[in-house]
Chains A and B, each alone.
Chain A
Amino acid sequence: MITAERKPLDEIIAMILPFKKVLVVGCASCVGECAAGGEKEVGLLGSALRMDARMTTKELETREMTLERQCVYEFIDRLTGLIDQYDAVLSLACGAGVQAVAEVFPNIPILPALNTSFLGQTKEAGLWLENCRGCGDCRLHLFADICPVTRCAKQIFNGPCGGSQDGKCEVNPETPCAWHLIVTRLEDRNQLDLLEEVYAPADWSKKEGAGPRKIVREDQQN
């Protein structure tokens, strides 16, 4: 999923300052799962902003709603007819959601309430870990299903570096050394031969490309 975290409230308060009627819109997919932009978080943020406005004698009217997804037109369309009644939208979606909504309603400011973080997994309740960089060239099968691009601080394909000690990364002793995990799991799987391989430089063009990437699938088109 795409993970995100709420911006500090004072930043959000400053962002909505010029607007009197604000539509607070959540996204129930990824950022709902990571407890940053789902229905509950929309409720919390709406309530906090209204209380702040009252205490600082600002005029603010809000309405809260949560879309299934803010990055897909059919869901964004639920705002049609409603959005015109507001001066701005405060979006609790990832950066993709904010931009997708703005593309449908280009004349209304869509304000980002979240800082988008990373592609990750829910490791346990209240803990999310980054484990994919979307490099466009997955080679997990060579590295015991542990991504060196994402989980090694130096994205080493031929690791580990000399700073791995007691299985921890020197950059952050709370983080396991990805290469320690790779080596140990390959050993458990009897695949140590994979370690002898010298892996060639990555093709970052699949990640960096020529600006933003795109996927075209004719079979999926209308």
Chain B
Amino acid sequence: MNKENLELNVAIFFCQQLDPDQDSNRRVIEKELGPGIKFFPLPCSGRIEPLHFLHAFESGADLVYLITCPVKSCRYQQGNVRAGKRIAFAQNLIREIGLDPERLILINIDPPLPKRIDLLTRELLEGAPVKGHSLLSRL
């Protein structure tokens, strides 16, 4: 795992449909990484609001992820499509205040389902863009 990214504050919003055992699976990695990582399970990624992202950044997140089901396999048809639009909106807003929009990352995972959220998280952090701490988390 990228060592630098281990020290970052990361918020992960994700669709619960990805992992029926998310409740127990995420505890494994929560324990390992401590308070630097926060999970926010959603009934569907389409339920995300840009405000969730802003509050995550405001609370000091350096990277914010939204993980959705594979394209075209949303249980509610359009949920993950909508999620993409919400991401774009929030990215524009944080760009306006000078926060790097690439700190907000949309992940449409590849099939098949289910996935394990802990494994998924490890993979994400491994490949995470090297961004360092955001100005907000440093203050």
Q: With A and B bound together, what is the CA distance between A55 and B49 in angstroms?
A: 23
Q: With A and B bound together, what is the CA distance between A162 and B93 in angstroms?
A: 43
Interface code B93-109, partner A: CB below 8 Å = 1, 0 otherwise?
11011110000000000
Stretch at the interface among B21-29, B52-60, B119-127: B52-60
Q: In residues 199-222 of chain A, which contact B (Cβ within 8 Å)?
A: none
Given A44-B50, A44-B51, A44-B93, are A52 and B58 neighbors across the interface (CB < 8 Å)? Answer: no
Distance to closest chain A CB from B64 (angstroms)? 13
Chain A interface size band reads: 10 to 19
Say yes or no: is A40 at the interface (Cβ < 8 Å to chain B): yes
Q: With A and B bound together, what is the CA distance between A215 and B35 in angstroms?
A: 60
Q: Is B97 a contact partner of A55 (Cβ separation < 8 A)?
A: yes
Distance to closest chain A CB from B88 (angstroms)? 12
The residue on B at minimum CB distance from A56 is: B98
Distance to closest chain B CB from A189 (angstroms)? 36
The residue on B at minimum CB distance from A57 is: B139
Given A9-B97, A48-B94, are A43 and B51 neighbors across the interface (CB < 8 Å)? Answer: yes
Q: Is B136 a contact partner of A55 (Cβ separation < 8 A)?
A: yes
Q: Which residues of B contact A56 (CB under 8 A)?
A: 98
Say yes or no: is B135 at the interface (Cβ < 8 Å to chain A): yes
Q: Which residues of B contact A50 (CB under 8 A)?
A: 58
The residue on A at minimum CB distance from B90 is: A44
Find A51's partner among B49, B51, B58 (CB 8 Å cutoff): B58
Find A44's partner among B54, B135, B139 (CB 8 Å cutoff): B54
Given A51-B57, A51-B58, A55-B139, are A8 and B96 neighbors across the interface (CB < 8 Å)? Answer: yes
Q: Which residues of A contact B51 (CB under 8 A)?
A: 40, 43-44, 47
Given A40-B49, A44-B51, A47-B51, are A52 and B98 neighbors across the interface (CB < 8 Å)? Answer: yes
Q: Is A51 a contact partner of B96 (Cβ separation < 8 A)?
A: no
Q: Is A48 a contact partner of B96 (Cβ separation < 8 A)?
A: yes
Query: 12 additional contacts, CB 8 Å, given A47-B55, A51-B54, A56-B98?
Result: A8-B96, A10-B96, A40-B49, A40-B51, A44-B93, A48-B93, A48-B94, A48-B97, A51-B136, A54-B139, A55-B98, A55-B99
Cross-chain pairs A/B with CB under 8 angstroms, 22 sampled:
A9-B93, A9-B97, A43-B51, A43-B54, A44-B54, A44-B93, A47-B58, A48-B54, A48-B97, A49-B97, A51-B54, A51-B97, A51-B99, A52-B97, A52-B98, A54-B135, A54-B136, A55-B97, A55-B135, A55-B136, A55-B139, A56-B98
Question: Which residues in B have some Cβ–Cβ distance to A below 8 Å?
Answer: 49-51, 54-55, 57-58, 93-94, 96-99, 135-136, 139
